[in-house]
A and B are shown apart, each in its own frame.
Chain A
Amino acid sequence: MSKQPFRTPQGGLVQRSRTIRFTYDGISYHGHPGDTLASALIANGRHMVARSFKYHRPRGIYAAGSADPAGLVAIGVDAKRFDPNTRAAEQEIYDGLVASSQNCWPSLGTDIGGALDPFWRFMPAGFYYKTFKGPPGTWTALFEPLIRAFAGLGRAPDAGDPDRYETVNRHCDVVVVGAGPAGLMAALAAGRSGARVILVEETHRLGGSILSRDPEKLSLGGVQPAQWVADIQNELAALPEVTILTRTNAFGYYGNNFLGLWEKVSDHLPKEKRLGHLPRQRLWRVRAKEVVLATGALERPLVFHENDRPGIMLASAARTFLHRYGVLAGKRPVIFTNNDTGWVTAFDLAANGAEIAGIIDVRSDLSGEHMAEAARLGIPIHASSTVVGTSGRHRVSQVEVRPLHRDGSVGTSFSHIGCDLLAVAGGYAPNAALFSQSRGKLRYDPELAAFRPGRSWQKERSAGACNGTYALTDVLAEGARAGVEAAAQAGFDSGDVTVPDVDGVELGQGQLKVMPEMPSHLPPHRRRAWIDLQDDVTTKDLRLALQEGYQAVEHAKRYTTTGMGNDQGKIANLNAFAFIANERGEELPAVGTTTFRQPYKPVTFAAIAGQHVGPHFAPRRTTPMHGWHRRRDAVFEPVGDWLRPRAYPREGEDFFQAVQREARAARTDCGVLDASTLGKIDVKGPDAREFLNRVYTNSWSKLAPGRCRYGLMLGEDGMVADDGVTACIADDHFHMTTTTGGAASVLAKLEDYLQTEWPDLKVFLTSVTEQWAVASICGPKSPALIAELLDDFDADPERFKFMDWRDATMGGIPVRVFRISFTGETSYEINIPATYGRWMWRQIIEKGARHGITPYGTEAMHLLRAEKGFVIVGQDTDGTVTPGDLRMDWIVKKSGDFIGRRSLFRSDTARKDRRQLVGILTEDPDLVLEEGAHLIERRNEPEPPVPVLGHVTSSYYSPNIGRSIALALVSGGGGRIGDRIFATRGGEPTVPVRVTEIDFLDLKAKGALPQAVRREGGHG
């Protein structure tokens, strides 16, 4: 015990029977289960834990919970588990906890950055904006690295996060945020009704503010606060529909009563006790019918010269450390207050052995009762006085007090009071952050000199201190009422809920006297009165911002950064608004507030990402043949969520060589492609033909059963949206295919037209994409292979013609075979029910061996179709390309409406100089253009802007043509066949190219390929 000099002999809710060892900056300390890092450090006499953001001033623990502005430390479990910016006042200690200071060098005590502090006068608001200006490049090259070296908070861990995180969805009738007296009563009332209730508590213990009260001086229903809380907790735990979440922060209140809760599941445990099967943290996504906000009130700091030293803290924090943790924050405290709660703090501290060095109250009209009690305890009283300065390097050691005059000035007489703690009590303000997030409107309460919930927007209600209700009896009643009402709104009856009798001292504020800044003998420009302890924003900065024209609170906030730290100014903001209002000579409601945004406090990205990381990031859609592709060491590419083999490089082969080999084999022997990913839609109904006529640009009236047809689908804007082959199964039944990536959107679009535009059409659509595994077999030897694979099947391309399809069996299994081609080669597509897909593929490979079967990937497929001049929607089109632009006018019927038809006649789509798809052949046959390369008229690029003729959409080296080939969209391209234009190549000189037709196989067959011009010395 001797190792914790500020631990009280008894009292507090920590488990004194057990001692925990932890280290802070390498020094070993003791604490007890139930301690936070802050309470344990203070028990050891340590207040200073951090350096401030801008001036590197020493910072201590200022508040006892998540509102603490500046007590940020780093918690390092190991190299991978390293959490910067952890609030010491929230982190529970455990055996072996390693904490360290941050934002200082070489150490917290002697921080080089602290040398900045004497220059504070030269670092005003907007300092960065005014100072770090220079020619382009100076910011990234010089200023940013410089600033980053000095400013910034903490450092990120060096390695990836090894822990698991989880998101969980929940629906419930009532969410109660905050388990203080109001929240507990609300949860109890709502829980008893049988409603589904979630009670959320930020700390590890239910009870809230009543745990910060002297248990000897307060009883509820005849028992001490902790016992009363335990009784309720037991009752709630026994209710099957009630969930209690401790160590959980309701960080976000979103639309439709959607709340984000952040649960720290194992942050309070030593590494060896963290259970591997539990996530480190959970994010609860809760949809509530009704919400009860019981988030309490936050105490306001007092704003005076040198109010930032370690050892200066909120009076409420001093009481919390005392009653909840059994820690005396100071042995010789001074209390500085503007209301009665400061006095209660003094008496509580005194009762636990502190020698109160003085109570300084800005008010003149003081409570006789309190005066008498103070006199009885021998506490010096400084009525109508203010603190005008403090001293002490790493902890406050003395305060300077001066009398306050009626006119708002201070007297010339002063006294110095030695102390080791300055507890400041500035009055309580409702914590209405979540209410504001829910888009409720705040109301200014002049009596509290603070904002409280006004008009609700969502189905929520505030109860207790967060609603501006401070008297405990009223708080309990309001909480119970809120619980009953919320349950009733959700359809549940709570019956009668009795509110316990409260016996003891009320923690009343009495008459509150709020002053935006304490008067001082110093001129304003010499005062250093902090508004925001984390961001080092003082009244001087706000004054300057207002002078420079940043009058609106939102502007002043951004200019000075007040409230912009990772505490989001929980305790600073109200003082900032009040100060601005006072300076502007206006009332607070007229000045308003900044916007309260989610999250209430920083939430880890890991918790937000939850389990959807790494291999669980997104579905990896695979075909039945995937295992085979993997074993063949295929190189994959993602197509939408699908994994498709891009090529199958053999031993000693690089990707390019593999693609060339595959593409060659498909034309010389036999190639096979896994085409299972293509979208497939079963179209059925008496109006199916009419439907196809309306959704495709061509006519389907005469397509006979057993035949297939290629179709283009447009958007209503006339632009090509998708393409594919559709087969006629029967007069009223078709099998449609779409692109792999377009499958879902095409089905959605077709359903859209059927359901909303043409409900009279009798057509049903059902996706069958994954019902079928598909192998596309092509090449001169494919007919022989097909004949071997299928049972009694005549595969002769003379009789089973291009664009025919047949029912067949393979090993007795019914299959559909389509004579369709995306390569220009003789080609067959076998569709087999997916469970047989793997088997089918193996048969193809085994039987195909003697036909030279070569599996090919998407890259060879792209290359093969380009050789034939077939387009890929999404590669050669980009949403601005019409069928005419593709020079596919043949596929557009002349009569009858279809989706997008009218757009083809718009003045813009009928323009003659639209970019059209053409072939592009480089004069150097070995040179392969970059896809996206710009095409221009002349060899030398003129001064920008360069008139661009178009761009390359597809580009390959073709083994079958024996040279490079490319497709491009070129302005008026159809009329420019044979023209010589130039292609850009990044920074390199342009190269001459020839505009050609797009079917390169045909050009080669006709001997119509332009003369190659080989450059000397090869190519670059």
Chain B
Amino acid sequence: MFVISCPYCGARDQSEFSYGGEAHIARPEWREDMSDAEWADFVFMRSNPKGVLAERWVHSAGCRRFFNMLRNTATDEILAVYKIGETAPQVQAKLPATPCGEAPIGSGNDAVKVMQPGEAE
């Protein structure tokens, strides 16, 4: 459970919020000639990165507002919260990107949980 700062209500427990999927995926305007692929890209395809993802959340138990959030999916670190309609701020993910510094793809379980000789604190 993490703490989310609702842009209206301030810091609240995650249990008050619902997830709204990836942000900044605009619904395409209706066109007769829109291809299946173009539409499917909107309906089904999401980026699913291990790292910083712009996502939508809604403060469902509180003010019921949707907002955007930049979250590092590998660490749950929340890098920014901004209102709908605003552009995502430029952020620098905390280093290391993951607690164990594990690879950008794959599970973190195999990573060494202890520091290696010469590793900076």
Contacts and interface: CB of A to CB of B under 8 A. Distances in A.
Contacts of A907: 36
A258 B3 CA distance: 9
B114 A756 contact: no
* A interface bracket (residues with beta carbon within 8 Å of B): 35 or more
Given A442-B114, A595-B113, A903-B39, 20 more contacts: A255-B76, A258-B1, A436-B113, A441-B99, A441-B113, A592-B112, A716-B27, A716-B42, A751-B64, A751-B66, A752-B66, A755-B66, A755-B84, A756-B56, A756-B66, A756-B84, A759-B85, A897-B30, A902-B39, A903-B43
Given A751-B58, A755-B66, A454 B40 contact: no
Contacts of B104: none
A905 B36 CA distance: 8
Interface of B: 1-3, 13, 18, 20, 27-30, 34, 36, 39-40, 42-44, 56, 58, 60, 64-66, 76, 84-85, 99-100, 109, 112-117, 119, 121
B118 to A, nearest CB: 10
Contacts, number: 91
B115 A748 contact: no
B1 A454 contact: no
B2 A454 contact: no
Interface of A: 254-256, 258, 287, 436, 439-444, 451, 454-455, 457, 554, 587-590, 592-593, 595, 716-717, 748, 751-752, 755-757, 759, 896-897, 901-903, 905-907
Contact of A748 (B28, B43, B58): B58
Contacts of B117: 587, 589
A365 B61 CA distance: 67
A451 B115 CA distance: 10
Nearest to A577: B114
Closest 9 CB pairs of A and B: A897-B30, A439-B99, A442-B114, A256-B2, A454-B115, A443-B115, A755-B66, A902-B39, A256-B3
A590 B119 CA distance: 12
B99 A457 contact: yes
Given A256-B3, A716-B43, A907-B36, A589 B116 contact: yes
Contacts of A444: 114-115
A592 B18 contact: no
A457 B2 CA distance: 14
A592 B121 CA distance: 17
A755 B60 CA distance: 13
A441 B1 CA distance: 21
A441 B2 contact: no
**Max chain B C-beta neighbours (<10 A), residue from A457, A756, A896:** A756
B15 to A, nearest CB: 10
A906 B36 contact: yes
13 contacts: A255-B1, A258-B2, A439-B100, A443-B115, A454-B121, A457-B99, A588-B114, A589-B115, A595-B109, A901-B30, A903-B43, A906-B36, A906-B40
Contacts of A752: 20, 58, 66
Contacts of B20: 752
B113 A593 contact: yes
Nearest to B56: A756
A101 B65 CA distance: 57
Contacts of B3: 256, 287
Contacts of B1: 254-256, 258
Nearest to B23: A756
A914 to B, nearest CB: 16
Contacts of A757: 27
Given A441-B99, A454-B121, A592 B114 contact: yes
A457 B58 CA distance: 27
A590 B115 CA distance: 9
Contacts of A439: 99-100
B74 to A, nearest CB: 11
